A and B are shown apart, each in its own frame.
Chain A
Amino acid sequence: MPVNLILKPKLHKKYLYRCLQCIPSHFASYDTTRLVLAFFAISGLDLLKDLDSLKKQQKIIDWIYSLQVVDNKELVSGFQGSTTLNTIENRNRSAPYKWCHIAGTYTALCTLLILGDDLNRVNKEAIASSLKVLQLPNGVFCASKDGSESDMRFIYCAACISYIIDDWSGVDIEKATDYILKSLTYEFGFAQAPQLEAHGGSTYCAIASLALMGKLSALSEIQRKNIIRWLLNRQKDGFQGRPNKPVDTCYSFWVGAALKILDVFDFVDFDQNKTYVLSTQDNLYGGLSKWVDTTSDPLHTYMGLSGLSLMKYDELEEVNPLLNISQRAYAHLKSLHMKWRLRL
């Protein structure tokens, strides 16, 4: 294998540490989703088996908890994606427009799990009752109480959140399942919403959500068979998100994980998949990007690593395809569930 097609864990660790510390001002459009960036960096370091060298884990945990909102009146409890609206005055208190964002809650819970937190400071009941407000009559979820679009991504977030807090009272599973099935297209991929175009990202969200909700059986044998075909056809060398679109590193995770959940990941051509993902690696500064010879970014760095990890890589911790965290962090969650259930 050519030397630049060998995974460079050290470089990626450096890259992710840099992301975790400080990013330049032209990243201002990430300002509302800093937590998601933190998740990419921390989960990435976890996959690279380098979490122990992460200093100040407790400080990071505290920063994440500073994003938690508990507001049982407005029903906007959960985690914000960033501290943009946090002020000294409203610290740890609710305030106008200080609302949770569903992706913030999902990534906060995942990151806390990765860092070994026991989620004791998470107000699970408040989260479940606020989640309920975000589900629309047709079963789909919005991201926040007002002013948000709704689509498959947020069903996935809602499913992950409910799974993690081990409380499904915030989700009408039947309605969500119905919406997911209605978003299955004639191509047998899932779209972000009914009748839209099938897409690798939304197909991952749909399949993972069904699995988390225990509803994979809602797919008929014929549907399942055709979905697998559609997913497998996304592989060109790496994976693309839609037919006739260029391949992109992140789909090695989205499509790969969907195949893994459906128990047919072994049909993937590992060598070609690896070669593509590694060809998007920046051999100088670290990180991965969506295409060859483009600039690395945190999302594609993380998705590239988790995509590689699906293929069981020596240097990488194995990733859990449902929650997109390491199996190590997933095992920690399972032990928490055991404790919570015994206490009842």
Chain B
Amino acid sequence: MSDSSDEEISQQKWVLYKDRPDWKDVEPIPQDDGEEPVVTIAYSKEFTDVYDYFRGILKTQEKSERALQLTKDAANLNPANYTVWQYRRDIIKALKKDLREELEYIRQTIRKHSKNYQVWHHRKVLVEWLNDGSEELEFTKSILETDDKNYHAWQHRQWAMKTFNLYEGELEYVDSLLQTDIRNNSAWNQRYFVVNNTTGFNDAVLSREIDYTLSKINIVKENESAWNYLRGLLLHDKEGLSKNQKVVKFCEDLYNSGNRSAFLLALLVDMCDEEISQGSGDVLLVRQKGIALCKELASNYDTIRCKYWEYMASTLEKKGTETDDTCTSSTGN
């Protein structure tokens, strides 16, 4: 299907509203920008014309076929004009227009302006009115094909999934995205979203997800998204961060194999930190290990954050020697 309707206005055949016989009865209303406007936009004459007539019908509250067409032209010239979209919806409601047709129109519009808030909102309202989310997974998938981290598309997709209970097959979809780009943080987040809203993180699921994540880390070690997901999983381990034997062994093996990914070292630091807090194991030894890791990070493997890691080393040093367990300074305000 052609997505080229937006070119209409730039075509030579474009007739200004003020020259259209069927608009003769409408009074165009100029914008009042005051005596000394700032950030003036050098509007094209088409823009001024369309918006003069938009202000005209807004005043009379005309809700008609021609007014509907006018909102299309106005939205075309500025898809970020939320009043235009709001008024368009009010006309659609008043005229009881075919919502499927509108859905198709907004599909094309979103394809052209996939990072515009107003067009996504318009689609959401339409889907709510139709009370039918059956096209939303396919639709958002098509947008994610051109930008697999488009925040609007993910937001719309999650909304549709929650509203219409559309979780089936999503884990497979997420997996396919991660096979294309193992670093796609949006996909990792979606994985968490699906598990959280379906099975939840019970022991079996937790174990499966840990295996999955470790296998992904094995492919690319320097991947913050996977490490963050792993940490997210461990939030559901009642024993905490440092007691999951599978993860602990994985990390130790990786470290012993010579890997010095900053994400690995940081997790090891946090494991030490937790162990000291819990007073489990040989606190003295664990503290030494934690401090050594912080120093490695500060001087070799995460030098951009060296001040932070030095600070972490100093907190570990103090830790367990005092009763107080604060790690950051006072509140900001």
Which of B15-23, B43-51, B94-102 lies at the interface with chain A?
A: B43-51
Contact A225 B327 (CB under 8 A): yes
Given A147-B82, A216-B331, are A20 and B154 neighbors across the interface (CB < 8 Å)?
no
Return chain B residues, CB-CB under 8 Å to A86. Answer: 31-34
Return chain B residues, CB-CB under 8 Å to A27. Answer: 41
A83, A242, A267: the one contacting B149 at CB < 8 Å is A242
Which residues of A160-190 are within 8 A (CB) of B? 185-187
Return chain A residues, CB-CB under 8 Å to B34. Answer: 62-63, 66, 83, 86
Contact B327 A149 (CB under 8 A): no
The residue of chain B having its C-beta at the shortest distance from the C-beta of A261 within the complex is: B332
Return chain B residues, CB-CB under 8 Å to A232. Answer: 305, 308
Q: Is A22 part of the binding interface, using a Cβ–Cβ cutoff of 8 Å?
A: yes
Which residues of B163-217 are within 8 A (CB) of A? 183-186, 189, 192-193, 196-197
Q: For chains A and B in complex, what number of residue pairs have CB atoms within 8 angstroms?
A: 222
Return chain B residues, CB-CB under 8 Å to A24. Answer: 41-42
Q: Is B133 part of the binding interface, using a Cβ–Cβ cutoff of 8 Å?
A: no
Contact A25 B41 (CB under 8 A): yes
Report B183 CB to chain A, min CB distance, Å.
4
Q: Is A5 part of the binding interface, using a Cβ–Cβ cutoff of 8 Å?
A: no
| A129-148 Cβ-contact flags toward B at 8 Å (1 or 0) | 00000000000000110111
Return chain B residues, CB-CB under 8 Å to A199. Answer: 151
Q: Is A331 part of the binding interface, using a Cβ–Cβ cutoff of 8 Å?
A: no
Return chain A residues, CB-CB under 8 Å to B83. Answer: 32, 84-85, 97, 99, 147
Contact A87 B30 (CB under 8 A): yes
Return chain B residues, CB-CB under 8 Å to A83. Answer: 31-34, 37
Q: Range of interface residues on chain B?
A: 35 or more
Return chain B residues, CB-CB under 8 Å to A113. Answer: none
Which of B137-145, B224-232, B250-258, B288-296 lies at the interface with chain A?
A: B224-232
Contact B225 A95 (CB under 8 A): no
Which of A33-41, A116-124, A306-314, A334-342 lies at the interface with chain B?
A: A33-41
Report B62 CB to chain A, min CB distance, Å.
11
User: Whole-angstrom distance between the alpha carbons of A143 and B196 in the complex?
Assistant: 29
The residue of chain B having its C-beta at the shortest distance from the C-beta of A212 within the complex is: B333
Contact A22 B121 (CB under 8 A): no
Which residues of B1-54 are within 8 A (CB) of A? 29-44, 47, 51
Contact B40 A22 (CB under 8 A): yes
Contact A186 B330 (CB under 8 A): no
Return chain B residues, CB-CB under 8 Å to A91. Answer: 32
Q: Is B80 part of the binding interface, using a Cβ–Cβ cutoff of 8 Å?
A: yes
Q: Is A73 part of the binding interface, using a Cβ–Cβ cutoff of 8 Å?
A: no
- Which of B223, B224, B235: most chain A CB closer than 10 A? B224
Return chain B residues, CB-CB under 8 Å to A315. Answer: none
User: Whole-angstrom distance between the alpha carbons of A199 and B47 in the complex?
Assistant: 35
User: Whole-angstrom distance between the alpha carbons of A119 and B311 in the complex?
Assistant: 44
| B119-134 Cβ-contact flags toward A at 8 Å (1 or 0) | 0110011000000000
Given A22-B41, A96-B61, A235-B305, are A244 and B331 neighbors across the interface (CB < 8 Å)?
no
Return chain A residues, CB-CB under 8 Å to B308. Answer: 232, 264, 267
B35, B86, B120, B305: the one contacting A146 at CB < 8 Å is B86
Given A28-B77, A147-B85, A211-B333, are A63 and B37 neighbors across the interface (CB < 8 Å)?
yes
The residue of chain B having its C-beta at the shortest distance from the C-beta of A207 within the complex is: B332
Which residues of A257-316 are within 8 A (CB) of B? 260-264, 266-267, 269, 272
Given A29-B79, A144-B82, A225-B328, are A23 and B228 neighbors across the interface (CB < 8 Å)?
no
Contact B121 A149 (CB under 8 A): yes
Contact B39 A34 (CB under 8 A): yes
Contact B36 A62 (CB under 8 A): yes
Return chain B residues, CB-CB under 8 Å to A236. Answer: 304
Contact B121 A148 (CB under 8 A): yes
User: Whole-angstrom distance between the alpha carbons of A189 and B188 in the complex?
Assistant: 14
Q: Is B65 part of the binding interface, using a Cβ–Cβ cutoff of 8 Å?
A: no
Return chain A residues, CB-CB under 8 Å to B89. Answer: 147
Contact A28 B305 (CB under 8 A): no
Return chain B residues, CB-CB under 8 Å to A233. Answer: 224, 305
Contact A228 B328 (CB under 8 A): yes
Q: Is A74 part of the binding interface, using a Cβ–Cβ cutoff of 8 Å?
A: no
User: Whole-angstrom distance between the alpha carbons of A88 and B34 in the complex?
Assistant: 9
User: Whole-angstrom distance between the alpha carbons of A214 and B332 in the complex?
Assistant: 10
Report B271 CB to chain A, min CB distance, Å.
14
Report A144 CB to chain B, min CB distance, Å.
7
Return chain A residues, CB-CB under 8 Å to B81. Answer: 31-32, 84
The residue of chain A having its C-beta at the shortest distance from the C-beta of B182 within the complex is: A244
B59, B79, B121, B224: the one contacting A95 at CB < 8 Å is B59
Report B279 CB to chain A, min CB distance, Å.
17
Q: Is A224 part of the binding interface, using a Cβ–Cβ cutoff of 8 Å?
A: yes
Q: Is B58 part of the binding interface, using a Cβ–Cβ cutoff of 8 Å?
A: yes
Q: Is A217 part of the binding interface, using a Cβ–Cβ cutoff of 8 Å?
A: yes
Which residues of A236-254 are within 8 A (CB) of B? 236-237, 242-245
Q: List 20 A-B contacts (CB under 8 A).
A: A22-B40, A23-B39, A23-B42, A28-B43, A31-B80, A31-B81, A32-B83, A33-B80, A59-B36, A86-B32, A87-B32, A88-B32, A89-B29, A147-B85, A149-B124, A186-B231, A195-B197, A199-B151, A216-B333, A264-B329
